[in-house]
Amino acid sequence: MTGQVKFKVLPDIKLTLIYYEGMINLPMVKRHLFKMGSHKDYDPSYDAITDFGHSVMEVTTEEIKEAAEFVKNSKPLLGKRKQAFIFRTAEQQVISSLFSMLSGDLPVTFNVVSTLREAKIYVGVKTEHYNKVQQVFSELSSGK
């Protein structure tokens, strides 16, 4: 399956949701980051939750380093925020953790978690917004 990276910005709750699916490579990640950073509603100070869903990351350690450098040098992506990475596989966990370590001097604090509930708690989503976040991730994962 060809990979996709989809996102939705929720300005009313100051949150960006990102969903990965399929085969993911570095050029695809860079295109996504550029597109997201250019989006009219995107604000780098909004907290973010990234769900790696049913994706397979086709990246090397060097490419993970390159992705971290790309983010460090992209002003539209830099803002003080919390970002949670949700992993489903051991490979996704390793890649997320490595990216977090290599991005150490960013104004972003990362946490690698295994559930959406943990991610919502980490970034501080209010309980009254839990269902909305779940609904948006369902839409992103179903292609709506």
Distance CA 67, CA 102 (A): 9
Q: Are 15 and 133 in contact (CB under 8 A)?
A: yes
pTM (2 decimals)? 0.89
The stretch 2-13 carries a mean pLDDT of 94
Which carries the bigger pLDDT value, residue 91 or residue 11? 11
| Count of domains for the chain | 1
The pLDDT of residue 144 is 57
The pLDDT of residue 70 is 82
Distance CA 137, CA 76 (A): 24
Structural domain including 82 reads 4-142
Give the residue ranges of DSSP H helices in 19-80: 26-38, 61-72
CATH number at residue 39: 3.30.750.24
The pLDDT of residue 108 is 83
Using 50, 70 and 90 to split pLDDT, how confident is the model at 50?
A: very high
Q: Would you tell me how many other CB atoms lie within 10 Å of the CB of residue 44?
A: 18
Using 50, 70 and 90 to split pLDDT, how confident is the model at 61?
A: confident
